[in-house]
């Protein structure tokens, strides 16, 4: 967070806040890569990681450090939510196995990821953060290109995963423990639109307006057709007026115009329905709803 801290110290009126993204902390598909990550984590925290307890202490150290630097949002980029049953002793054993350089079985892999997701969600809830889950990408499909250029260089596609039951089980576990914080779900496969639109309603308990959100069309879907389908599905099956609206990739300033693109599409959808007599021709009411979706809801939701 070197540059976030520098920007904060400049006091130039510009607010740029960090997000906590612990994908590498639970990526145990590559044992060598995971152990290399632990080396970096040891250096960042000055904690020697020789046990699962040390590992959790180091992760909590970073979580607290991000919070101390005004972080209030976490983000997970996953193929799918993992919600396998596990015991603490099992996870400790899997960590020792990883530390010795031994690969986990598929079942052990999924259990470890399940445990880490619950852990991070509990910490987020304790701090009142908003947690985000970007689900459904198949990454680095072209092995030859990845060897030449490295990971995450553009060889990704929409995946097809079974999100329903694991997602329900994960959210339900947190909800039963009163550890379900504000949550935004993003799907990459448009076939999952209605699943997401209805899933969020299961856990919107009224404690916060729009507590569980279905996020805006993402990545391959943040174009006219994808964004329109997401807005309409949410309108049909959820509460569009409480939607927190569009997001953009903060690593690219050229992606900021997506917000204007989103506003134009949203206004067009409302305008067409007014012309068709499907919504009241009340510009003041409609304008307030659109302003809320495009700005006010997000400002209130994130406490910014």
Identify whether the C-beta of residue 137 lies closer than 8 Å to the C-beta of residue 219. yes
Full-model pTM: 0.95
Residue 102 Cα distances to 28, 38, 85, 96, 126, angstroms: 10, 15, 22, 9, 34
What tokens appear for 77 in the block?
Answer: 């980029």
Identify the residue whose tokens are 């060598």: 32
pLDDT at 250 over 70: no
pLDDT digits (tens, 9 = 90+) for 58-74: 999 999 999 999 999 99
Identify whether the C-beta of residue 193 lies closer than 8 Å to the C-beta of residue 229. yes
How far apart, in whole angstroms, are the C-alpha atoms of residue 292 and residue 243? 8
Residue 29: pLDDT band by 50, 70, 90 thresholds? very high
How far apart, in whole angstroms, are the C-alpha atoms of residue 21 and residue 77? 8
Residue 87: pLDDT band by 50, 70, 90 thresholds? very high
Identify whether the C-beta of residue 180 lies closer than 8 Å to the C-beta of residue 125. yes
How far apart, in whole angstroms, are the C-alpha atoms of residue 190 and residue 292? 25
What tokens appear for 56 in the block?
Answer: 């959790």
pLDDT at 252 over 80: no
Which residue ranges form the domains of the chain, and what is each CATH number? 17-243 (3.20.20.140)
Q: Provide mean pLDDT across the span 241-251.
A: 86
Q: Provide mean pLDDT across the span 232-238.
A: 97
Secondary element (H or E) of residue 184? strand 182-187
How far apart, in whole angstroms, are the C-alpha atoms of residue 64 and residue 127? 9
Identify whether the C-beta of residue 265 lies closer than 8 Å to the C-beta of residue 227. yes
What tokens appear for 207 in the block?
Answer: 């404690």
State the alpha helices, DSSP H only, in the chain. Answer: 2-10, 31-45, 52-68, 88-99, 106-127, 143-149, 164-176, 193-199, 224-237, 258-275, 283-291, 297-302
How far apart, in whole angstroms, are the C-alpha atoms of residue 248 and residue 232? 20
What tokens appear for 264 in the block?
Answer: 């134009």
pLDDT at 176 over 70: yes
């Amino acid at each position: 967070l070197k540059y976030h801290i520098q920007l904060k110290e400049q006091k130039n009126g510009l607010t740029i806040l960090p997000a906590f993204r612990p994908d590498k902390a639970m990526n145990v598909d590559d044992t060598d890569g995971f152990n290399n990550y632990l080396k970096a984590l040891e250096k960042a925290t000055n904690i020697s990681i020789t046990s699962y307890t040390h590992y959790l202490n180091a992760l909590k150290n970073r979580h607290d450090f991000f919070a101390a630097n005004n972080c209030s949002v976490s983000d997970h980029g996953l193929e799918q939510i993992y919600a396998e049953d596990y015991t603490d002793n099992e996870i400790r054993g899997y960590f020792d196995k990883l530390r010795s350089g031994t690969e986990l079985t598929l079942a052990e892999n999924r259990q470890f990821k399940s445990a880490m997701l619950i852990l991070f969600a509990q910490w987020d809830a304790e701090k009142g953060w908003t947690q985000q889950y970007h689900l459904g990408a198949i990454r680095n499909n072209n092995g030859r290109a990845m060897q030449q250029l490295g990971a995450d260089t553009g060889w990704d596609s929409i995946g097809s995963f079974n999100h329903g039951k694991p997602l329900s089980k994960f959210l339900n576990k947190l909800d039963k423990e009163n550890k379900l914080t504000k949550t935004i779900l993003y799907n990459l496969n448009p076939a999952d639109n209605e699943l997401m639109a209805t899933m969020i309603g299961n856990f919107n308990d009224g404690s916060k307006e729009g507590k569980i959100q279905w996020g805006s069309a993402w990545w391959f879907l943040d174009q006219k057709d994808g964004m329109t389908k997401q807005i309409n599905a949410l309108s049909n099956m959820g509460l569009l007026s409480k939607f927190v609206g569009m997001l953009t990739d903060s690593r690219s300033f050229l992606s900021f115009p997506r917000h204007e693109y989103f506003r134009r599409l949203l206004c067009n959808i409302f305008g067409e329905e007014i012309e068709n007599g499907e919504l009241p021709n009340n510009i003041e009411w409609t304008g307030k709803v659109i302003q809320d979706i495009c700005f006010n809801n997000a400002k209130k939701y994130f406490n910014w």
